[in-house]
Structure 1
Amino acid sequence: MVGKNSVLSRRDMLASSAPALAAADSGPAETFDSLTRLATQIFRAPMGMVSLLDGDRQWFRSHIGLDETSIPREGSFCHHAALEGAGVFEVCDTLRDPRFATYAYVVGAPHVRYYAGALLRSPEGEPLGTLCVADTSPRPPMDGTARAQLRTLASAVESAIQLGHELRVRREADARIAEQARTLEIAEQAAGLGHWRLDRDSGVSHWSDGVFDIHGLPRAAAPPSFEDALALYHPDDQRLIQEMVARAWRTGIGFDTPLRLRRASDGAERWVRTRAQADSDAKGRPSALLGVIQDITEERRALTELRASEARYRLLADNCHDILLRIDRDGVVRYASPSCRQLGYAPEDVAGRHLTEFLPGQHRKDAANALLDLFNATHTGSAKTRDYPVVAADGSIVWLEGASTIVRDINGEAVEMVSVFRDVTARRELEARLQAAAEAKTVFLANMSHELRTPLTSILGFSSLLATIPELPTPAAQHVGRITAAGQALLALINDVLDFSKLEAGQIQLEPAPADVPRLLEEVRDILSVQAAVKGIDLTLDAQMAEPRRLLDDLRLRQILVNLTGNAIKFTDHGSVTLRVRETGGVEAPALRVEVIDTGPGIPQDRQERLFKRFSQVDGSVTRRHGGSGLGLSISRELVELMGGRIGVESQEGQGAVFWLEAPAPVVNETNAKDSAVAAPASASAALRGRILIVDDHPMNRELVRLFLASPGLEIDEAEDGQQALAFATAQRYDLVLMDVNMPVLDGLAATSAIRATCPLNVGAPIVALTAQTGPEIEQKCFDAGMDAVLAKPIQPHDLIALASHAMAPADVAGAA
């Protein structure tokens, strides 16, 4: 017996015998059966086995007199034989041996009483199992001859195992070689490759399938002779091939060269690349050439096209007036076209320098950051364009417009930037002049607006006051009406011209606010009711709405509807004009459709498309019956489009017309509702109480405002410029200051700022701007100066009274309003 540690060590060692067991499994079964049968015959034993150990099991590779194919390894005879390590392990009487007396196959079937097993070993000496014989009766110990015979038979089993192992290794090697050959064949097909071998002495060639395919020859055929294969190549290349092969036989130096061949199958000329190395014999003499061949026809074609493209690009770059640069990731110029000479630089003066070196100092950091952003951008996109100030060779500044495109490698990484630069100095100078002209036009229009609106304020204001005199004779009242109508027409013309200019410059901004749409339509009707009544036109409303309060720019919508309705009245001689509104768009996209329907003469189809164009009218002749600037509908269209809507007309000649507009109009709710001033009736002026300061450089304007606000409870002071207003505000507290904006000495904006800063009595007094200039810009200037509201000239009495009533109301009343 052996010690415990020795048993564990040998058991661990035996676990490594699995590969040999696998080899035995693959060996010829007849051999093992014959050897087992021979052993039972020689030793006259009823049972014989070839047992192999594998992990926790003992397998019977061959067995006679035993039905089992495997039994547990632990406690088996074979296991003990392997542990003992003796040449032959023998148990003469199992019932008398305490190691085996209780084994199941000793006390039970097949009742083994005798066992003799010769240990099987691998070529490395590792135990694999046993060749054993067994009997149901005890036996005396074997003599030396018997032991030698069993050992000889065991050696034959070992040889069979080794033969099985070698056969298995050979089959696996053959399978690997076949798989490698198949992989090579697939790779060659994918790459358009083939491999070949040429023996020096025999002149015999070996070709892979790829070589046959490249030459256009059937795969099943034998490779052609060297001379026949040579005949497929271009005559000039045949001589080159012969020289390269001769040199290889002579020196052992291989070759790598492109060649032209004419494919045997279809006569097509193909470009191939062949590479070869010499294989030497034991004496170092070149004995064979081993090589590969690849069809490079498409590669050559692409290369040819690339070279042609590069030539065209070079021709374009060298002759293009624009400056072309190639810039690497570090911002260094790698190529500069000859056109950079227009800046006084030679191409070699630019190449190799950082791009920012050609920019003024204050622009270099921004340009470097922009360059970095371009290279770090993950998207490809189109060329990015911007203007750069560049320092020419003579030190002057030249503006270049640069369009840059990032070039990326196959992994999507930015490798360089190609930029095209064009001299835009003249364009920028022209833009600057145009900008100056536009600003001059804006200033001119603002001044003209002020100069025109100022006398209109007096004309419309005093005519409206005259119209309120009940004792005015009828002819005089008619004259006053004509004055008012003419003034309103002139005001409309001025507004059209100013709006046209602002739309053209993109200076009009919408100011959406909660508005009552039916009420707005009533105001339009009231404004035009006199005009309709004079012509005997029935002006009606159809304004039934489920949600009347909408978020929109009521001032601009009123302007559009006054224009559309005024036109309808103007061109309708008898009948009616209806102003109708409908809710559209549903809950998700609430909108309004407003229609102006008239019974006028209608508009011919071929003239409708010109209606909404600038300076265009249906009747543009000098004998036309109706006046107008031709801007009203164009302005209306642009305002509607600014609202995100659309406008149009439906009409047939002789059947009236329907002018319509559709625009988004969200329903007013708690989130978009704003507080707004509540209009006061004209009679509210009689209830005004407090002290007001009127500041205007035109005496008639001051007098007109005083008359509009006439009330026994008012105390009114007047100042003709901002300097006087500042003196009044320093000495007296006012409940309301009405401040003209454009005045000599000190204008209204500066006066307001001074009052807020230096007049404690009027720091919180309401100050309202009176201005002939309109628009968001002037309003913002007024608010920035400290004014509370803006009232445009010509001043409308009801607007002035409503604003004054709201401004002078007690704090609790104003807050409620």
Structure 2
Amino acid sequence: MSDSKSGAHSGPREPGDAERTREVEQELRRLRLLVDRSRDALMLHDVRGRLLETNRFGHDSLGYTRDEFLQLSIGDVNPDVGSIPKERLGEQWRKMPLDSSVTVETHLVHKHGHEIPMEVVVAPFEEQGQRLFAAICRDISERKAAEAARRREELRFQAVFEGAPTGLVLINAKGTIMAANPALETMLGAAPGGLIGRTLDDITFEADLEVGRSELEQLHRGEREFVRVEKRYAGCGGEILWAQLSAFRYGDPKTDEARTVAFIEDINERKQIETQRREMFERLDELVAQRTAALEQEIAERKRTEQELNKAMRAAEAANLAKSQFLASMSHELRTPLNAVIGYSEMLMEEAEDTGSEELVPDLQRIRNAGKHLLGIINDILDLSKVEAGKIELFIESVRLPALIDEIIDTVRPLAHNNGNELSLSLELTGGVISTDITRVRQVLFNLLSNACKFTEQGRVALRVQELRVGTEAWLRFDVTDSGLGIKPEQLAKLFKPFTQADASTSRRFGGTGLGLSISDQFAQMLGGRIEVESEYGVGSTFTLWLPSHHAQQQAASASGTFRAVTGDNIGTVLVVDDESESRGMLARLLEAEGYAVLTAPTGARAMQLAELHKPDVITLDVMMPGMDGWAVLSRLKQRPEFADIPVVIVSLMPDADMGYALGAADVLAKPIEIDRLRGVLSRFGAGAGTDASSQHVLVVDDDPEARDLLCRAVLKEGWEVQQAVNGARALESIRASRPKLVLLDLMMPEMDGFELLEILRGDPALASLPVIVITAKQLGQTERTALAQRVGSIMQKGSYSRTQLVKHIRSLVDLKAKKL
């Protein structure tokens, strides 16, 4: 009881142990919650480094579970822990005062091996007499990355600053030079670092101290952002040089202090040029006065010269017109007999095969091949104007060399046998396919072999063809060797000169013009090769033709073009497209005299560029050009809406096929007519035996009896009935009397030619649909045929139009386009 009473009078009772325990546990839970929510890694270890405790962020950030982490030592996660305190406290780090701490930057190692930069605060404390250490670790990866980036920027700026070719200086707010790059030191002749600590005034020429001073002071005060001024500077060696100062303000990212960056560029050379120019202009008035009197006299003389030149130009244009007309006429006259030779030989070949006389076929093939070769030579001779102007064009293609050699040998063999010569061939080839101009190669080899056969009697003529490697390039060597007359040493020097033969006796005995070797040598050079000759008089000669196996195609004309504006009113712009400079110039002068602004282009590619830039009102277009020809230009123009309405005038030297398609011909056949090609055309229009004869007759229109006979026989053989007409007028009468199923029409005829007949047919609604096959010396492909059908404004033949006709026609096209707009 007494215990009970004494207890009742002893005052308020103290909390029990259980309640105290609960409070402590609650406090510990709160503390654990705060510790675990911390974004710093908290660790507790003893003197030996054994980890005793950590928060959740501590073990999670290093990739461990709590249990895994407490099995480690501090050295496992921080291998450098032993050296950290020594940096600050030496060997007595274990005796650090309990109220002290040390902060260091180090790395903690993640469970997967990578290191994490950390800032660590280490503080000692005692627990039950045992010294322990608490470590607070903060991830400083972002800060380290930022510091590294800043260091890289500083290094980059330093590299740019040091390597800049223009002088650079950094100036602080007091106007003192903090840094100068090597370019400025070299410019002023200063030693490395010799400009640091000086001011801009110290390096400025005394007479120019006030130049730009107020602007620079405003820049330092922040009243302007940029200054540019030209002034003179004094070099360390006493020299004076002009330089341009360009300065601007910027804030130092570390200190936020306002500083100045100045570019100092050497302009000495420019100033010297300006001084010379100024002196020149000061003398200009004097020079102009002196020159004016001389010019007045020159102008009077020039007017007299221009009058004489105009007279000569008119004469030259008349001669050029006559030449073009002559070439066009001769082309027709020379081709006509050859067409007969080739055509009849082909018909005889077919008849020989049909009748079983096959022994005649090889000879007839040789006649046909010789005729075709002669036709090719005539075409080149008729192109004499281009040879004289250096305008011969190359057409590079893949060629099977053995087949070409066999063809040449077959053609030359009769020439060799005529003089009793033995002809031999040796081929030493690995590939056999080359890239070159087959026509030019055939012409050169035929000339060399025919010469060898002509100058050799009862001897030997040999052709040896080798494929060789010269360095890294593949070459062909053609050796033409004969045992004939030979050449005297004094005659070798003039062997390749035009119109030159060995001597007068050679010319009388063997004939010839002396052009063959000269032209062959020019062709060989155009093909990238050369011709060499070795000869012993009375013993024989060897001519060697060297050619690259693969020719690099060269552009025949430059890609340049010109724009020639008129001095008065511009009544329109005309684009003249032609690869021949003479034709371009003549047409340009003609149009300029009438008040047109003229653009000229030597190639199709340049024509497209000029059309894009200037949008001309009319385009005159030559179709026969190297590279992108006139048909490709025409097709591209009409595919683009902005060019589709521009009138195009075809100006072509040989417009037969061109005009045929433009006037609506169903097809064009090239002379000499290939029988298989003619069969294909006839079958397209329903030819064949056993059909209704009233609707199956063909009208053949040609003024040449032999050509007409060849066509009629070929058509009859295919089961058609045939009517004939010698010109367009007779043909028109025949068509109106009895409409044929098909018309085979030659364009070049007297009285009424094929062009006029085509125009009449296309203008008559009843005859507009009548199929017409044009017979001509040139043939175009399907692409050109499609492009030309509805897209050509008109066609004019070079050399056939007058000045008045052309100008009147172009003016009408310009006026028509203006009305549409």
Same fold (TM over 0.5): no
Pairwise TM-score range, normalised by the shorter structure? 0.3 to 0.5
> Which of structures 1 and 2 has the bigger CA Rg?
1
Normalising by structure 2, we get a TM-score of 0.38
